[in-house]
């Protein structure tokens, strides 16, 4: 992806920002937004604005080697819960208000939470590929034997997790057999309506003298945003292959797809149209892959990362699944 002049200018600006600012809550927010909008078009080198996928602890990256992991996670458990944020976000999006989901799962299930940061503007399949590599290294270097892996993704993060599972199966990654559960919160499995509307608008505007400036601005959308519009999670889907791959869920991985609406009434017309403001509820025709589907009313898209009702739903499902019974 060629860098736009806007991304190039932003790169120069970021280079002048002190490291302490970049590590602040505001700096993390800016990093997520910049990556989400420009993706690979904003390759600011080095730790100041890391482009690669990393495990984060206390706002800083953790080395994926035994010594670094043992130091960062002194109470390491064999059950790992990997959290993946959504578009224009960082791992800090999970830390709003009360205790984060990971800390609560540590107390309730004895699991070790791992928060991943990635460049959400890159192709979803590229981030899925990187997640396969990251988890491979993580399992090999974890201080204790890994017995169980749970993936929890919010919005685009759910698509990244699904992409990683498909690619792990293609690559026959040994750790795939340890993944028992996938939780998707507000994930647009069939694509995000808002991005599809923007893509149609770009097509309608064309390149006339009157609309060219607006068209150029809208065309700056990153690869990740474009993938999100159609829910593309495999390279062949965005690379123009004549026939896309038949994507089947790896066996042995149970799924929970959680969606929300602002409406408190399930199935209401308002809820179907507006959804959680960004994503509409999971429909019967979507590729649920035999997933358990849960709906929650009165929540917006971002509340899915910290609302008690969401946590209780996920915890109840994980506990029931662990007992081998239906949720």
236-242 CB contacts, 8 Å cutoff, 24+ apart: 237/125, 238/123, 238/125
Q: What is the CATH number of the domain that holds 280?
A: 3.40.50.1820
Q: What is the mean pLDDT of residues 60-85?
A: 96
**Span 233-245, mean pLDDT?**
67
Number of domains observed in the structure of the chain: 2
Q: Among 31, 49, 186, which Cα is nearest to 120's?
A: 31
Q: Is 69 exposed, middle or buried (0-12, 13-18, 19+ CB in 10 A)?
A: buried
1 assigned to some structural domain = yes
DSSP 8-state secondary structure symbol assigned to residue 150: E
280 CB-near residues (< 8 Å, 6+ apart): 188, 193, 259, 272, 273, 274
The pLDDT, as a whole number, for residue 23 is: 60
In this structure, are 18 and 127 located in the same domain? no
C-beta separation of 288 from 307 below 8 A:
no
23, 7: one domain? yes
User: Is the pLDDT at 69 greater than 50, yes or no?
Assistant: yes
Q: What is the pLDDT of residues 176-217, one digit of tens each?
A: 999 999 999 999 988 765 554 444 544 544 554 444 444 444
Can you read off the two tokens belonging to residue 298?
Answer: 């009165």
Q: Say if 315 falls within a structural domain.
A: yes
Q: Does any domain span residue 205? A: no
Residues 32 and 108 reside in one and the same domain: no
Start-to-end Cα distance in the chain: 44
Q: What is the reported pLDDT for 254? A: 94
Per-residue confidence (pLDDT) for residue 229, from 0 to 100? 79
Residue 231 CA to residue 124 CA, distance in Å, equals 9
Q: Is residue 219's pLDDT more than 90?
A: no
8-state DSSP, 175: G
3-state secondary structure of 32: helix
In a domain, 102, yes or no: yes
324 has pLDDT over 90 = no
pLDDT tens, residue by residue, 285-295: 565 668 899 99
Q: Are residues 99 and 15 in the same domain?
A: no
pLDDT at residue 242, as a whole number? 54
Write down the pLDDT at residue 12: 55
Is residue 51 pLDDT above 70, yes or no? Answer: no
Q: How far apart are CA 279 and CA 318, in angstroms?
A: 24
- Do residues 234 and 245 touch, judged by C-beta distance below 8 A? yes
84 located within any domain? yes
pLDDT score at 42: 54
Q: Let me know: does 295 contact 261? Beta carbons within 8 Å.
A: yes
Q: Which of 180, 187, 147 is nearest to 318 (CA)?
A: 180
pLDDT at 85 over 90: yes
Question: What is the average pLDDT score of the chain?
Answer: 80
Alpha-carbon distance of 21 to 30, in angstroms, equals: 10
- The reply to whether 114 and 172 lie within a common domain is yes
Q: Which residues, 6+ apart, have CB-to-CB distance to 306 below 8 Å?
A: 94, 96, 97, 98, 100, 101
Other beta carbons less than 10 A from residue 237's beta carbon: 19
The yes-or-no verdict on residue 31 having pLDDT over 80 is no
Element (H, E) at 204: helix 193-205
- Are 89 and 30 in a shared domain? no
In the structure encoding, which two tokens stand for residue 57, read together? 């602890």
Domain hosting residue 40, numbered range: 1-49
């Amino acid at each position: 992806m060629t860098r736009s002049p806007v991304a190039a200018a932003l790169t120069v600006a970021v280079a002048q920002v002190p490291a302490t600012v970049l590590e602040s809550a505001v700096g993390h927010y800016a990093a997520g937004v910049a990556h989400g909008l420009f993706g690979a078009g904003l390759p600011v080198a080095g730790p100041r604005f890391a482009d690669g996928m990393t495990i984060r602890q206390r706002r800083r990256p953790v080395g994926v080697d035994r010594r670094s992991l043992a130091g960062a996670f002194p109470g390491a458990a064999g059950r790992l819960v990997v959290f993946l944020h959504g578009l224009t976000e960082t791992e800090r999006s999970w830390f709003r208000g009360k205790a984060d989901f990971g800390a609560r799962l540590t107390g309730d299930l004895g699991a070790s939470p791992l928060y991943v940061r990635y460049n959400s503007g890159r192709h979803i399949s590229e981030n899925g590929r990187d997640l396969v590599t990251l988890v491979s290294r993580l399992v090999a270097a974890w201080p204790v034997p890994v017995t169980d892996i749970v993936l929890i993704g919010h919005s685009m993060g759910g698509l990244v997790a699904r992409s990683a599972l498909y690619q792990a199966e293609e690559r026959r990654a040994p750790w795939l057999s340890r993944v028992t559960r996938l939780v998707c919160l507000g994930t647009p499995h069939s694509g995000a309506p808002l991005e599809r509307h923007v893509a149609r608008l770009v097509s309608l505007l064309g390149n006339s003298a009157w609309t060219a400036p607006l068209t150029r601005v809208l065309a700056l959308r990153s690869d990740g945003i474009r993938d999100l519009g159609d829910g593309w999670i495999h390279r062949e889907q965005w690379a123009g292959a004549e026939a896309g791959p038949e994507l089947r869920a790896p066996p042995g991985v149970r799924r929970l797809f959680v969606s929300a609406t602002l409406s408190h009434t399930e199935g209401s017309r308002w809820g179907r149209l507006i959804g959680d403001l960004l994503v509409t509820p999971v429909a019967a025709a979507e590729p649920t892959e035999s997933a358990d589907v849960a709906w929650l009313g009165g929540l917006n898209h971002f509340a899915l990362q910290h609302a008690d009702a969401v946590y209780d739903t996920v915890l109840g499902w994980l506990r029931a699944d662990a007992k081998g019974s239906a949720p």
